[in-house]
Each structure stands twice: as C-alpha cells, then as structure tokens.
Amino acid sequence: MISHEIDYKIIGDDIQIVEIELDPNETVIAEAGAMLFMEDGIQFETKMGDGSEANQSIMGKIFQAGTRVITGESLFMTHFTNRGVGKRKVAFSAPYPGTIMPIDLSKIYGNELIVQKDGFLCAALGTSMKIHFNQRFGSGLFGGEGFILQKLKGDGMAFVHAGGVVIERQLNNEMLRIDTGCVVAFEQSLSFDIQRSGGLKSMVFGGEGMFLATLRGTGRVWIQSMPISKLIQRLSVGGGNAGKESGSVIGGLGRLFED
C-alpha cells in the first residue's frame, strides 16, 4: 500500500466535518484553510504539491501547483502529521452545507476518480491530485465547471465535499443525463460530455437549462442535489422571485422589466 492508512469519522448532518485519527508519523493532506481543529502532537506544514512523489523536482512541484491554480484551488496544500507518541486527531470542515463523501480509492476502477474542480477536501498522504481536462469539445464550450476537473489517484482514503444530498448511481452500459454542475465525481471508465437538453422549445421554455451532462458506459457516478453554483443563484438578490423561471430564457427576460 502506497498511501497512509488512516481512520476517520464523519460528524454532523447539514454542514459536516471529518475527524481523522492518525497513528504516529501518519500524514493527511488537505486544502488550505480546511482544518477545524487538531490535537496536541499534530504538526502541519504548507507545501507545494501533494507529496505523492517524494523525489519530485522543484520544477515538477511548481508545475503541479500551477495546475491547481487553473482549477481555482490554492497554490499550496497543508500536510498534517502526527509527531506524538500515540494516536492524535485532526478535523476538517466542509466549506458550505452538504455532504462529505469518504471514498476508498483502492475500490475505484483503476484507482482513479474524476472529481469536480472544487470537490476535494482532504486525503491520506500518497494520494496524487492532477488536473483533468475533458476532451469533449461540447464540454469545453458549454460545460463550464465540467470542463476542468481533478483526478485523484491512489490506494487510500480520500474525502470529497458535495452540496446538498449525494446519491451514487451504478451504470451498466447505460446512459444518464444530469443537470450540469450536479456531477460530483465519476469513475474514469465512464464517458463524460455536455449535450443539448432537447429541442429548441425545451431549451428556451423548459427551465432546466440549455445543456445537460451526459455519462455513458459502465461505472459509478456520484450526484449532488445542490451544487454551490445553484445555491448562490437561489440566494442571490431577486432569485426567490424568479422561481422555476430562473433557469429559462423567459425568466431572465422577465426580470429585466421588474421594478
């Protein structure tokens, strides 16, 4: 096993935290600013890169950190290590209401998971995080947050944060269409693309958005009920008045004439 083996507990319902128990010299890596508390004996260090390649050159670390900036994440990651003589705990909090998903990468197809660009929370040391560009032209043109993704690779535990409730779907040589932005993660065995939601009438008047994420093949996909982009839209000024029309062209036009 390459990654450190860590124990954990998910606490809470609406805004969850993950509490991780580290044995001496075990390390967990996390997004900068995600730490909630840490017990005596835990030491942290901010580094470039995820530490999965111990002999990586300085230029390699700079390049890896630069790709994280493209995805909108911090240039640095924080490494938390238990330097005490017994077990010690460190906890990380979710950035907004939703669900923390514990994922054992050793049980994921190819030990690789494709994750939305802001979904990563923390993981056992040894987990590699790299940028993943969707090769489909439609995804790049219309997908927005679905175009630039993250790839988590390893054989240990990783923790991904999602908005609202999360459901897991197993596809068996099937196709599934999902509201863009609601895809949290999927196995690399699935093909991901962004396609039109339907005919012109449905796109203009349907209120479901003009494009949908489409996954095909065999593998697992995790879906969130309330991505942060949709939450911000609902909480924005005037969002409550728009109702179901907020996702349609007519709804947008109607708000131009409001006092």
The predicted-structure confidence for 8-52, as pLDDT tens digits, reads as follows 999 998 789 999 999 999 999 998 889 999 999 999 998 876 666
- What tokens does 227 get? 């991505």
Residue with more model confidence, 176 or 251: 176
* DSSP SS3 for 228: helix
Residue-range domains of the chain with CATH: 7-60+73-236 (3.60.160.10)
- What pTM did the predictor assign? 0.78
165-201 core/surface letters (b: 16 or more CB in 10 A; e: else)? ebeeeebeeeebebbbbbbbbbbbebebbbbeeeeee
Highest mean pLDDT among 46-60, 61-75, 99-113: 99-113
Residue type, 61: K
The predicted-structure confidence for 141-180, as pLDDT tens digits, reads as follows 444 444 578 899 999 999 999 998 999 999 999 999 998 7
The predicted-structure confidence for 110-147, as pLDDT tens digits, reads as follows 999 999 888 899 999 999 888 876 655 444 444 444 45
